[in-house]
Amino acid sequence: MKPRDIAAGVTRLGVIDWDAELFDAFVPLPEGTSYNCYLVRGNAKTALVDTVEEEHAAVLFAQLAGLERLDYVISLHAEQDHSGSIPQVLARFPEARLVGSKKSLNVLAGHLDISRDRLDRVGEGDSLDLGGRTLRFLDTPWVHWPETMSAWLEEDRILFPCDLFGSHLACSDLYADDRARVYREAKLYYAHIMMPFRAQVARHLEKVRALNPAQIAPSHGPVYREPGFIVAAYDDWAVQPPRNLAMVPFVSMHGSVRRMVDRLVDGLVDHGLRVERLDLSSSDPGVLASALVDAATIVLGAPAVLDAPHPLAAGAAYTINLLKPKARFVSCLGSYGWTKTAVDPLLAMLPNLSAEVIPPVIARGRPTEADLAAVDALASTIAERHAAAGLK
């Protein structure tokens, strides 16, 4: 990637990682990702906002080849995709100071073995005067780690929020003008990285709105030159009520659970709900995470395997609990051969959800007409709950 200006004296550097397939060995990257950093030049001083993964340092150094002096390396977030090259950058520019939050500097000193003599601590409201350009810092913890900060370039009204508002999207576009594509990847990103911290995200959105940025320049994916688009999307995902949507992730070995799931889906649709039906044996894990952003109800479907829930359903329950979606209702469809309690533990795997548990329907083997009638009743109950909550 060649350096590209997003404003006079403000240049996006970094790496487009077209081939990346997984982030944190967990998050699927169907469209790769990018690691953005930004060079901000004032009349007197120059700052580099974030770096790149250590393995991509050579790309960053090629972009910095003509730079004679660097005064500040700003670490907004200590995770290695942004901090991994900091030691090399500090070695290349021995005059540079490393700037970060108190927590991030502790992490960086520990993980990257950086001398504390190089570190300058900043907090909410502190600023760096670059000469005609001022970088002011905002505490924005938990997006994505507890030490995360954002930087606000006052004169240009550009916000650098690091992970917040990011998208794992490798593309040649500097700007997020292909909204449908960016929305899809930003939502997938939000689901995995930001959704567990919805309350904190909501607070940060207030700060961002008050700033009224001209641009938002995250450290993954394209830059937003019309930031209202992504701010509104985040408000929808993090703040607004869930949609009139039920998601039904399931696995079926011999057709019993599938039969119950299909009956439930038909019933929910008849009641006017939208439904995401996800066969866990074949669907992309990213689809599960994205659907969690909007769903008001989650119904897990699983057979027993020996004396426990099917491992694919247990894995899905673990992920759902980890990502803490805003679902208001949960239930379960199950089938078993000889140990009825083998599917019940799924609901107990969701302690992080503030959701009402609607009693599950569990069949012994192939569901009987009575079992299917119970599934119909479950659909009616879910629809009643959604209607009472006024979900749209």
Per CB under 6 A, residues contacting ligand FEO are: 77, 79, 81-82, 144, 163, 219-220
CB atoms within 10 A of CB 2: 8
Distance CA 97, CA 110 (A): 17
Query: Which lies closer to ligand FEO via its Cβ, residue 168 or residue 263?
Result: 168
Closest separation between CB of residue 51 and ligand FEO, Å? 12
Distance CA 81, CA 73 (A): 15
Query: Which lies closer to ligand FEO via its Cβ, residue 60 or residue 302?
Result: 60
Query: Which lies closer to ligand FEO via its Cβ, residue 50 or residue 262?
Result: 50
Closest separation between CB of residue 14 and ligand FEO, Å? 11
Distance CA 89, CA 85 (A): 6
Closest separation between CB of residue 37 and ligand FEO, Å? 11
Closest separation between CB of residue 219 and ligand FEO, Å? 6
What is the DSSP-derived secondary structure letter of residue 360? Answer: P
What are the E-state strand segments in 20-126?
Answer: 22-23, 27-28, 33-41, 46-49, 72-74, 97-100, 119-121
Residue type, 6: I
Query: Which lies closer to ligand FEO via its Cβ, residue 26 or residue 338?
Result: 26
Task: Please list, residue by residue across 290-299, b when 16 or more beta carbons sit within 10 angstroms of its beta carbon and e when fewer do.
Answer: bbbbbbbbbb
Distance CA 148, CA 82 (A): 11
Query: Which lies closer to ligand FEO via its Cβ, residue 89 or residue 246?
Result: 89
Closest separation between CB of residue 82 and ligand FEO, Å? 6
Alpha helices of 40-171 — where are they, by DSSP H?
A: 57-63, 80-83, 86-92, 102-112
Closest separation between CB of residue 352 and ligand FEO, Å? 20
Kindly tell me the number of DSSP H helices and DSSP E strands found in the chain.
12, 21
Query: Which lies closer to ligand FEO via its Cβ, residue 82 or residue 328?
Result: 82
Query: Which lies closer to ligand FEO via its Cβ, residue 29 or residue 135?
Result: 29
Closest separation between CB of residue 140 and ligand FEO, Å? 12
Closest CA to 34 of 148, 157, 179, 186: 186
Query: Which lies closer to ligand FEO via its Cβ, residue 144 or residue 198?
Result: 144
What are the E-state strand segments in 101-240?
Answer: 119-121, 127-129, 134-139, 149-153, 158-160, 215-216
Closest separation between CB of residue 174 and ligand FEO, Å? 19
Please say whether the beta carbons of 332 and 360 come within 8 A: yes
Distance CA 282, CA 113 (A): 43
